[in-house]
Amino acid sequence: MTYKILEALTPYELENMVNKQLMSGWKLSGGITICSYIGNNKVITHYAQSMYNDNMSKNIQNEEDRRKELKNQFKKFNG
Residue ranges making up the domain that contains 24: 2-78
At 56 the pLDDT is 61
pLDDT digits (tens, 9 = 90+) for 21-54: 999 899 999 999 999 999 999 999 999 999 999 8
Using alpha carbons only, give the angle 41, 15, 1 rounded to the nearest 5 degrees.
Answer: 110
pLDDT digits (tens, 9 = 90+) for 48-75: 999 999 876 555 566 677 777 777 776 7
The whole model's pTM is what?
0.66
The CATH number of residue 64's host domain is 3.30.110
Q: Are 9 and 47 in contact (CB under 8 A)?
A: yes
Using alpha carbons only, give the angle 63, 51, 6 rounded to the nearest 5 degrees.
Answer: 140
At 30 the pLDDT is 94
At 64 the pLDDT is 72
Total domains in the fold of the chain: 1
At 58 the pLDDT is 59
